[in-house]
């Protein structure tokens, strides 16, 4: 920090980088009141200096050389909004090596290399903040670290990917097919040309690994998250769910029982009376259960130029305040608990199962017996005629059962001579 001025190196001038500049320029007086210093962009790293942009940046601030930011002794903070893993990881580690604080919106990087980055930051007494990496403008990470610091979090459940929430909302409200809505989402810019990360659940899984690491103080990795995407969800599934009182959402769940942890991302039927059921479009929401506080929900836009930039600038303000107080690098709590993951027989939930059976007497009792063999009982049952001779569609919702029992039941049903096809099965939440 040089007197009453903090200089920032901005890496990336896409959607979020543009928003950061807008906020820093438009809110300079407010930021100065909060921090007591002026915060200014000293250099901006771009790929294409000649590209037309919606914000005006002085040409002498633009550079294509990352080391002109990383090795500039006057730059105090690096704000990374360029995305990607390489070469971004190297840039951030070098920034920390040079004693610069880091603010990033890069969920992929923090999910995969967060431990390495935070370790380097601790060695150099530097801040690393990454609020914008999860749920856009919703201040969920700060809430977990600061707001719940005196509580013990037992469960986090949320919608943390706007693209899939938009697709499932449109499928639910309009009865459209997955393929049709995905195409529309791509045309509107909500989904990438290659949507695999979003619709496959990978983006949400990365965010849940970050949330569970902070919430449970254990170093959770992407491979610890059981992940299933939405590409196999059909409009028929959604309609049957509606009839039983449920809404389909891609839900991330992180749960801790007696130090044992489960983290998953999967299409889930949420009871229509649960607050998450009414979170529609590209909005995100995270439900947090604390032993002391009970249930809380954080809701807001999960992406976009200004919501995400707001989270970035909020982190930047925290860095500057820490610089004034001389406490950089002291606010981070590294994971300190041993990671103990649940086995399938220790993961309990309700399940929705839809299958085609022979339409004759005794079939339902056979299904019920198969389930009873694994100590699983039924909460809801619905039978519909199927469009083939002497076939019926059977839809059931179980009481809370272990994941292992459900897997065994599905195997038994597939092998039976009275079940023709298992159409789908999904986790069910929010009906307790």
Domains of the chain: 5-133+305-325 (3.40.50.720), 140-301 (3.30.360.10), 346-429 (3.30.70.260)
User: 3-state class of 315 per DSSP?
Assistant: helix
Long-range pairs, 364-371, Cβ under 8 A, ≥24: 364/394, 366/416, 366/418, 367/394, 367/396, 367/413, 367/418, 367/419, 370/409, 370/412, 370/413, 370/416, 371/398, 371/409
Rounded distance between C-alpha atoms, residue 61 and residue 101, angstroms: 20
Rounded distance between C-alpha atoms, residue 351 and residue 378, angstroms: 10
- pLDDT of 15 reads 87
Number of neighbouring beta carbons within 10 Å of residue 188: 10
Q: Say how many CA atoms lie within 13 Å of 383 toward its Cβ.
A: 10
Q: Residues 66, 45: contact at Cβ < 8 Å?
A: yes
Residue 306 burial (C-beta neighbours within 10 Å; 0-12, 13-18, 19+) = middle
- pLDDT of 27 reads 87
Nearest-CA neighbor of 426 among 396, 384, 391, 386?
396
- pLDDT of 333 reads 66
Q: Residues 425, 354: contact at Cβ < 8 Å?
A: yes
Structure tokens at 78: 């690096």
- pLDDT of 82 reads 94
109 conformational bin, left if phi > 0, alpha if psi -120 to 50, beta if neither:
alpha
Per-residue pLDDT of the chain (432 residues), as tens digits, is 666 789 999 999 998 999 999 999 888 888 888 888 899 999 999 998 888 888 888 889 999 999 999 999 999 999 999 999 999 999 999 999 999 999 999 999 999 898 899 889 989 999 999 988 888 778 888 888 888 888 999 999 999 999 999 999 999 999 999 999 999 989 988 888 899 999 999 999 999 999 999 999 998 999 999 999 999 999 999 999 999 999 999 999 999 999 999 999 999 999 999 999 999 998 999 999 999 999 999 998 877 778 889 999 999 999 999 998 888 887 666 788 899 999 999 999 999 999 999 888 889 999 999 999 999 999 999 998 887 778 999 999 999 999 999 999 999 999 998 899 999 999 999 866
- pLDDT of 331 reads 67
Structure tokens at 57: 């940046």
> Which residues are part of the catalytic machinery?
207
Q: Residues 315, 369: contact at Cβ < 8 Å?
A: no
Rounded distance between C-alpha atoms, residue 313 and residue 323, angstroms: 15
Check whether the bond before 33 is cis (ω within 30° of 0): no
CA 430, distance to chain mean position in Å, is 19
Q: How far is CA 376 from CA 350, 401, 408, 430, in A?
A: 10, 6, 11, 19
Structure tokens at 267: 């299409």
Structure tokens at 28: 């300079």
Structure tokens at 323: 């610089």
């Amino acid at each position: 920090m040089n007197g009453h001025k903090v200089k920032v190196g901005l890496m990336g001038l896409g959607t979020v980088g543009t928003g950061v500049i807008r906020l820093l320029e438009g809110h300079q007086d407010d930021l100065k009141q909060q921090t007591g210093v002026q915060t200014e962009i000293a250099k901006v790293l771009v790929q294409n200096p000649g590209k037309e942009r919606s914000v005006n940046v002085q040409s002498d601030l633009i550079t294509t050389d990352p080391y002109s930011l990383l090795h500039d002794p006057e730059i105090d903070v690096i704000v990374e909004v360029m995305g990607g893993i390489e070469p971004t990881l190297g840039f951030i580690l070098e920034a920390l090596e040079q004693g610069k604080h880091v603010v990033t919106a890069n969920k992929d990087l923090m999910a995969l290399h967060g431990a390495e980055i935070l370790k380097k930051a601790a060695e150099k007494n530097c801040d690393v903040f990454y609020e914008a990496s999860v749920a856009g403008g919703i201040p969920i990470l700060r809430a977990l670290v600061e707001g719940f610091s005196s509580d013990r979090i037992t469960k986090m459940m949320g919608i943390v990917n706007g693209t899939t929430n938009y697709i499932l909302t449109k499928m639910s409200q309009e009865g459209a097919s997955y393929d049709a809505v995905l195409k529309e989402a791509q045309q509107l810019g909500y989904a990438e040309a290659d949507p695999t990360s979003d619709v496959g659940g990978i983006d949400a899984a990365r965010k849940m690994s970050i949330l569970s690491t902070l919430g449970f103080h254990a170093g959770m990795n992407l491979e610890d998250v059981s992940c299933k995407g939405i590409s196999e969800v059909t409009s028929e599934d959604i309609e049957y769910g509606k009839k039983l009182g449920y809404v389909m959402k891609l839900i991330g769940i992180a749960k801790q029982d007696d130090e044992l942890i489960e983290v998953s991302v999967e299409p889930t039927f949420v009871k229509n009376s649960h607050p998450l059921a009414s979170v529609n479009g590209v909005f995100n929401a995270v439900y947090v259960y604390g032993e002391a506080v009970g249930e809380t929900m954080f809701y807001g836009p999960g992406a976009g130029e200004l919501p995400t930039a707001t989270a970035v600038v909020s982190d930047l303000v925290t860095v500057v305040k820490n610089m004034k107080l001389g406490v950089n690098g002291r606010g981070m709590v590294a994971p300190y608990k041993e990671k103990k993951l649940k086995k399938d027989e220790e993961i309990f939930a309700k399940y929705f199962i839809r299958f085609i059976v022979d339409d004759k007497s005794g079939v339902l009792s056979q299904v019920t017996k198969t389930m009873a063999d694994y100590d699983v009982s039924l909460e809801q049952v619905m039978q519909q005629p199927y469009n083939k001779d002497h076939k019926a569609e059977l839809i059931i919702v179980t009481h809370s059962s272990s994941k292992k029992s459900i897997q065994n039941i599905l195997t038994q049903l597939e092998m039976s001579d009275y079940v023709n096809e298992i159409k789908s099965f999904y986790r069910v939440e929010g009906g307790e």
